[in-house]
Structure formats: C-alpha cells, structure tokens
Amino acid sequence: MRKLLDVARLVPPEMKAFRQVFEYETEDERATVASALRELNARPRLLDIEGNEAAVISWECSCLQKKCGACAMIINGLPRLACDTRLAELAGERVTLDPLAKFPVVADLVVDRDAVFTKLRDMGVWHDNERSLLTQDKASDWAYEATRCLQCGCCLEVCPNYVPDAIFGGMAAMNPMARLLEETPKAERKRLARSYKESVFGGCAKALVCRNICPANIDIDRLLSRANARAVWGRH
C-alpha cells in the first residue's frame, strides 16, 4: 500500500506555515496514521516527496491504543485519533493531516488544548462529598460510560456551538459532569446542576453532530439525556 501523507507544517521558532508531502509504503494492512508518522520520524533522514530534507514532524501520542486521546488531529478533513485510523481504510492515495482547528497550534500537528481543562476547573467538576457509593448495576454502568471520555477534543471540533474560552464546554465537559451527576443524590446536586445547566445544557443544540465523531464511541445521546434529566429536570 502506498500513501502520500500531506502534512500541514508549522515549524518553530520561525512558525512558517507550509505543506509538505511524504511518501509512505507498507505491506501491513493494520498500519495506522500514527504508526506511519512514527516510522517517518524514525528514519535516519526524512525526505519529502521532492527529495528535500525535512524536519521531524511534531505530533502528540502516548498509548497508541485509543486510550489517551493525545493523538487527535484532522485526517482527510475529519477529527480522528491517528492511532485509531488505519491507512487502508482511507480512500485514495493522498492523506491530509492537519492540527485540530479550534485550538492554538504549538507546532505542526500539536495543539494547545488547555482551554478544555481550564473549562472543567471553572465549571467546578468535582464531588463536594467524597463518599459516593454506587450499588446499582445500571448507575455504575453509566458512570463507567462517562469515565471513558478521552478529553481528545474531536467532538469539540465538529460542534457548531463550541468556541474555546466561552461558557459552553461541549461534550468533553458533559462527560465528567455526567459521572458526578450519576453519583450524587438528588438533594446534593444543586451546585453541579447549576453549573451543568450553564455550561452544557444551555449551549447544546442537541443535534448530536458530535456523536458520530467520538472515537471512543461514547453513548453520548443517552448519557446526555440522563444528565439532562438529573440536572435540569430534577429526575432520579
């Protein structure tokens, strides 16, 4: 299989923006965008398709198994995890790689997602009482579903309403909140509910564009509906 990786470059310290194309060939049907990037960067000399010497491609990863969310980037126009995107499943020879567009670019494919984490802090995403106890199988399953969020930001990329540093935190904020709401008895939910209404419920159009893009396949619609029921309608 032969692919042409067309990479958006932004190389510090000059921060000159340009595109660079690299040829990548492999027999391995399981090769991913991440494994290709790692192999390109491990070459003693990295040459682009025109034969020019190229600098190491900056990108972020850690687990290489869809467990950490580090490697989110735009692949052929869609936000995805590089380690979970097989080259063989991408149609055509050319694969375009760009950094997530809603966050400031640090270098090449690396972005600064601090806004996502600052949002959670400003929203007060934590338990007031450290004595939660889940004994219902179903509630614990939903709390578990919520913990699966990778904070990768793919959903925020496609969300028409998400802008970093604004009030609305998107699904990356809904998920951790949903866990806390699952675990907090009705009488103690006031602070969380207020924050949820303001930073999730109030901004979300519920068209669920985010749902199909989530690489962790989180059951966002049902989780959202449960969280809404608890925080907004005061049920359960």
Residues that bind ligand FES (CB under 6 A): 61-64, 66-71, 81-83
Give the integer Cα–Cα distance in Å for 228 and 16.
Answer: 45
Sequence-ordered list of residues with C-beta below 8 angstroms from that of 91, at least 6 positions apart, any chain:
none
Size of residue set near ligand SF4 by CB under 6 A: 25
Residue 27, number of CB atoms within 10 A of its CB: 6
Considering CB distances under 5 to 8 angstroms, the limit depending on partner class, which of other proteins, ligand SF4, ligand FES, none binds residue 81? Answer: ligand FES
Binder among 205, 229, 234, 235 for ligand SF4 (CB under 6 A): 205
Q: Please classify residue 184 by burial: count the beta carbons closer than 10 Å to its beta carbon, then call 0-12 exposed, 13-18 middle and 19+ buried.
A: buried
Sheet holding 78-81, edge to edge: 16-25, 2-11, 94-98, 72-75, 78-81
Residue 185, number of CB atoms within 10 A of its CB: 9
Torsion of CA 8, 148, 236, 191, to 10 degrees: -60
The alpha helices in the chain, defined as continuous H runs, are: 33-41, 114-123, 137-147, 154-158, 171-183, 190-199, 209-213, 220-231
> Which CB sits closer to ligand FES, 68 or 232?
68
Binder among 97, 115, 143, 227 for other proteins (CB under 8 A): 143
Sequence-ordered list of residues with C-beta below 8 angstroms from that of 142, at least 6 positions apart, any chain:
178, 182, 223, 226
Window of 19-27, 84-92, 125-133, 167-175 that interacts with ligand SF4 by CB under 6 A: 167-175
Considering CB distances under 5 to 8 angstroms, the limit depending on partner class, which of other proteins, ligand SF4, ligand FES, none binds residue 205? Answer: ligand SF4
- Give the shortest CB-73-to-ligand FES separation in angstroms: 10
56 near other proteins (CB under 8 A): yes
68 near ligand SF4 (CB under 6 A): no
> Which CB sits closer to ligand FES, 153 or 164?
153
175 near ligand SF4 (CB under 6 A): yes
> Which CB sits closer to ligand FES, 67 or 211?
67
Segment 73-102, which members bind other proteins (CB under 8 A)? 84
Asked if 74 and 13 count as a contact pair (C-beta separation under 8 A), the reply is no
Chain residues in the site for other proteins (CB under 8 A): 11-12, 28, 30-32, 34-35, 38-39, 41-46, 55-70, 84, 106-107, 110, 112-114, 117-118, 120-122, 124-127, 130-137, 140-141, 143-144, 147-148, 150-151, 176, 179-180, 183
- Binding footprint of ligand SF4 on the chain (CB under 6 A): 69, 149-155, 159, 161-162, 170-172, 175, 204-210, 214, 216, 218
